[in-house]
């Protein structure tokens, strides 16, 4: 795999500082039942990294101690973590709002037949990937048969009242561009998605989030091997808008990896750019078991060229467009 970090670090990005923590994003591990082209994690069925019981307990203790209101569970496929159901039960007991970044197809895998009901029971918000509403495009990006399986999963979620206007179970969808281009306007695309999915499959959902592909790991390596890395970086930089700086997710979120180390976001996690503190012995990597929220406030965020994916055009975050 080609490493994009040296090239990204040659590109300067405006200085930004961390604000209050609204959401803790927990990466439970890099295993996934899929192996998508645009994956910034390089996730796949053969990855073995997963959060240990000890780190899960450290993470729950951090959430309780700091009164964290919302967590965003990601991976890989976070649901493949063996203690996933236990974790969402514990989070529910702490009265935390839970977001599950779901690839949809996991809901149809053997052994996960009850997963959708469990998510509904714990009132977990689902943010589900559906990078296009055209079968051919989805299967090209995510693998053969993924579109059909995703539709089946969406119907299952709708039956559980996910995404229904009168219900309170939230189902948001995520659109990723097919390659080295920016996403279309989120609002317009949401209207198209809603119309197509309703007419063709009678599927409903709450909101569409457009997310720009970030040139790290599998996606970054693919761009480099196709000689598309430099033109894509140029496109991102040329489309930068200062208006998006205030709403960058890293200012209000924190990312914890499967080993308990902390990062400004999942992309910095994949690039190996952790949060650190200076000590008498040198520099130390911050771990969820030994960090105070107060030491993070107003601190510089670790930035490089990939950050332009978050500020290009309408901006991009795990919650979709910024402006
Ligand atoms: S993009 Fe999501 S579904 Fe696809 S391989 Fe990566 S983690 Fe899995
Ligand atoms: S990639 Fe985006 S979210 Fe991560 S540090 Fe850069 S601007 Fe912030």
Q: Residue 241: left (phi > 0), alpha (psi -120 to 50), or beta? A: beta
Look at the alpha carbons of 145, 147, 150, 154 in this order and tell me if their dihedral is positive or negative.
Answer: negative
Residue 153 Cα, ligand 2 centroid: separation in angstroms?
Answer: 31
Residue 163 Cα, ligand 2 centroid: separation in angstroms?
Answer: 29
DSSP 247-302: T-GGGTEEEE-TTSBEESSHHHHHHT---EEEETTEEEE-BGGG--GGGTTTPBP-
Ligand sitting nearest the alpha carbon of 309? 2
Nearest alpha carbon, ligand 2 atom 8: 250
| Side-chain-side CA neighbours of residue 198 (13 Å) | 12
* Strands (E) located in 9-115: 23-27, 70-74, 97-102
Q: For ligand 2, say whether the CB of 275 is within 6 Å of any of its atoms.
A: no
**pLDDT over threshold 80, residue 133:** yes
Ligand sitting nearest the alpha carbon of 269? 2
Contact 269, 294 (CB under 8 A): no
Q: Produce one character per residue of 97-126: b if its CB has 16 or more CB atoms within 10 Å, e if not.
A: bbbbbbbbbbbbeeebeebbeebbebebbb
**pLDDT over threshold 90, residue 39:** no
Tokens found for residue 106: 């996991």
Portion of the chain with pLDDT greater than 70, in percent: 100
Residue 289 Cα, ligand 1 centroid: separation in angstroms?
Answer: 28
Portion of the chain with pLDDT greater than 90, in percent: 88
Nearest Cα neighbor of 50 from 23, 78, 72, 24 is: 78
The CA–CA distances, whole Å, from 257 to 7, 29, 136, 248 equal: 24, 7, 33, 20
Q: For ligand 2, say whether the CB of 183 is within 6 Å of any of its atoms.
A: no
pLDDT in tens, 243-261: 999 999 999 999 999 999 9
Phi, psi torsion values for 31, nearest 5 degrees: -75, 140
pLDDT at res. 38: 74
Q: Which atom of ligand 1 is nearest to the CA of 38?
A: 1
Q: For ligand 1, say whether the CB of 270 is within 6 Å of any of its atoms.
A: no
Nearest alpha carbon, ligand 2 atom 1: 307
Ligand sitting nearest the alpha carbon of 128? 1
Q: For ligand 1, say whether the CB of 315 is within 6 Å of any of its atoms.
A: no
Contact 210, 175 (CB under 8 A): yes
pLDDT in tens, 155-203: 999 999 999 988 899 999 999 898 899 999 999 999 999 999 999 999 9
pLDDT in tens, 120-129: 999 999 999 9
Contact 171, 165 (CB under 8 A): no
Q: For ligand 2, say whether the CB of 250 is within 6 Å of any of its atoms.
A: yes
Structural domains of the chain in order of their starting residue, each with its CATH number: 5-311 (3.20.20.70)
Residue 244 Cα, ligand 2 centroid: separation in angstroms?
Answer: 11
**pLDDT over threshold 80, residue 37:** no
**Global pTM exceeds 0.85:** yes
């Amino acid at each position: 795999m080609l490493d994009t970090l040296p090239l990204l670090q040659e590109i300067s990005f405006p200085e930004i500082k961390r604000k209050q923590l609204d959401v803790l994003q927990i990466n439970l591990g890099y295993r996934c039942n899929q192996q998508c082209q645009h994956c910034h994690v390089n996730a796949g069925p053969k990855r073995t990294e997963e959060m240990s019981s000890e780190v899960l307990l450290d993470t729950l203790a951090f959430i309780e101690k700091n009164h964290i209101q919302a967590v965003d569970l990601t991976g890989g496929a976070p649901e493949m973590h063996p203690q996933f159901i236990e974790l969402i039960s514990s989070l529910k007991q702490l009265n935390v709002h839970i977001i599950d970044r779901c690839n949809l197809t996991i809901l149809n895998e053997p052994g996960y037949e009850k997963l959708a009901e469990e998510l509904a029971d714990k009132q977990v918000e689902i943010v589900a990937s559906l990078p296009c509403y055209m079968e051919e495009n989805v299967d090209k990006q995510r693998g053969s048969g993924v579109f059909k399986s995703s539709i089946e999963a969406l119907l299952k979620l709708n039956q559980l009242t996910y995404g229904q206007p009168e219900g309170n179970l939230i189902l948001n969808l995520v659109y990723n561009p097919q390659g080295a281009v920016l996403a279309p306007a989120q609002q317009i695309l949401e209207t198209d998605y809603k119309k197509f999915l309703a007419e063709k499959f009678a599927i409903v959902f709450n909101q569409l989030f457009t997310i720009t592909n970030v040139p790290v790991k599998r996606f970054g390596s693919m761009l480099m091997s196709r000689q598309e890395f430099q033109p894509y970086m140029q496109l991102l930089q040329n489309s930068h808008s200062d208006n998006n700086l205030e709403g960058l997710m890293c200012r209000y979120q924190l990312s914890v990896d499967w080993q308990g180390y902390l990062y400004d976001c999942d992309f910095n996690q994949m690039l190996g750019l952790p949060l650190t503190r200076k000590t008498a012995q040198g520099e130390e990597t911050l771990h969820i078991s030994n960090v105070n929220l107060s030491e993070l406030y107003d601190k510089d965020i670790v930035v490089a060229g990939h950050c332009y994916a978050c500020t290009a055009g309408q901006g991009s975050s795990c919650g979709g467009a910024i402006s």
